[in-house]
């Protein structure tokens, strides 16, 4: 009978970095999804309020600032009860920097308008 006690340790040592890498990847993907959802939902609410209250471009900018949304790459087009928002934010990677990914870029392009007396955002 051959003693196999050391084989399990070697297998564990080789698989541990892979397991840690997968866990780190899952955490970063969760962060990206959370930030993307937050950015889209806040943008939809701002567009809805902007159309409903007929806000100016400056007032819409202020709403983004009040909601702590980065406006460095924010592009707004406000005209005739229509609001188009293009925004791009960068978030720092937590574990992606291990493999060379320092930041993730999130883009949101939404347009709101009135159709049949209802506010539509797509």
* C-alpha to C-alpha distance for 60 and 24, rounded to whole angstroms: 36
Distances (CA, A) of 120 to 6, 45, 53, 56: 64, 12, 15, 18
Task: pLDDT band for 3, please (50, 70, 90 cuts).
Answer: low
Domain ranges for the chain, please list them.
Answer: 5-121
User: pLDDT by residue (tens digit) across 110-121?
Assistant: 999 999 999 999
Looking at the predicted structure, is the pLDDT value of residue 1 above 60?
A: no
User: pLDDT by residue (tens digit) across 5-64?
Assistant: 778 888 889 999 889 888 888 989 999 999 999 999 999 999 999 999 999 999 999 999
Q: CB–CB of 62/52 below 8 Å?
A: no
Q: What is the pTM of this model?
A: 0.84
């Amino acid at each position: 009978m051959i003693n196999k006690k050391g084989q399990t340790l070697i297998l564990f040592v080789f698989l541990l970095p892979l397991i840690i890498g997968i866990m780190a990847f899952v955490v970063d993907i969760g962060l990206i999804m959370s930030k993307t959802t937050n950015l889209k939902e806040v943008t939809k609410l701002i567009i809805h309020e902007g159309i409903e209250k007929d806000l100016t471009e400056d007032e819409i900018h202020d709403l983004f600032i009040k909601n702590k949304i980065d406006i460095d790459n924010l592009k707004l087009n406000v005209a005739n009860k229509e609001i188009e928002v293009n925004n791009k934010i960068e978030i720092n990677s937590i574990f992606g920097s291990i493999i060379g990914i320092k930041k993730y870029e999130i883009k949101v392009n939404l347009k709101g308008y009135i159709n049949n007396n209802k506010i539509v955002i797509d």
